[in-house]
Amino acid sequence: CHPKLQRDFNHGIALLHSFWHNEAEGAFGKVAAADPQCATAYWGEAMTHFHLYLGETSPADLLAGNEALNNADKATEKGAREIAYIRALHALYDGYKPDGKYTNFKLYAYAMETVSASYPHDLEAKVFYALALLAAAPPDDVSLALTRKATEILNPLLHEYPDHPGIAHYLVHACDNPEMAPQGLE
């Protein structure tokens, strides 16, 4: 997207990592209004409507998120990496039904794993992959396998990027259970 909009876009990402979805939607909307062909602005809007890991997504949010995702598909300013992020988000939205949400969450986590592996220097891909793992972990999973994997991704990143708005936040959520709590002390 237009380089002058990078600060606004980054602000939207920071808000998204903080689960301030309404404010993040506004930031991404500002980018989309200034650069209507910026595919990642619409990707960001779609991310704000899903409320991943925060709670149930309403039918209205699903509708708005799908519309934003369709706008991302149509927008012309995107490269291979942006297309990968958009396709990953389709795994979350396409065919979503609340009673089968963990299927979509796992598909999204797998897609974000692919994005992260394809772009190993993309910090956000790693952080969003870890969030996807946390969302994909069903509450009855006593092995905590996905939660542990998310923690393994995030812990080293915390040392390198201590001021990142998502890393510590997602680690707190990952370690918010008796078995994982000792790993969250740092």
**Each residue's pLDDT expressed in tens, for the chain with a length of 186 residues:** 889 999 999 999 999 999 999 999 999 999 999 999 999 999 999 999 998 888 789 999 999 999 999 999 999 999 999 999 999 999 999 999 999 999 999 999 999 999 999 999 999 999 999 999 999 999 889 999 999 999 999 999 999 999 999 999 999 999 998 899 988 877
- Put residue 183 in one of left, alpha, beta given phi > 0 → left and psi -120 to 50 → alpha: alpha
Q: Which residues of 160-181 are buried (b: 16+ CB within 10 A; e: fewer)?
A: ebeebbbbbbbbebbbeeeebe
Full-model pTM: 0.95
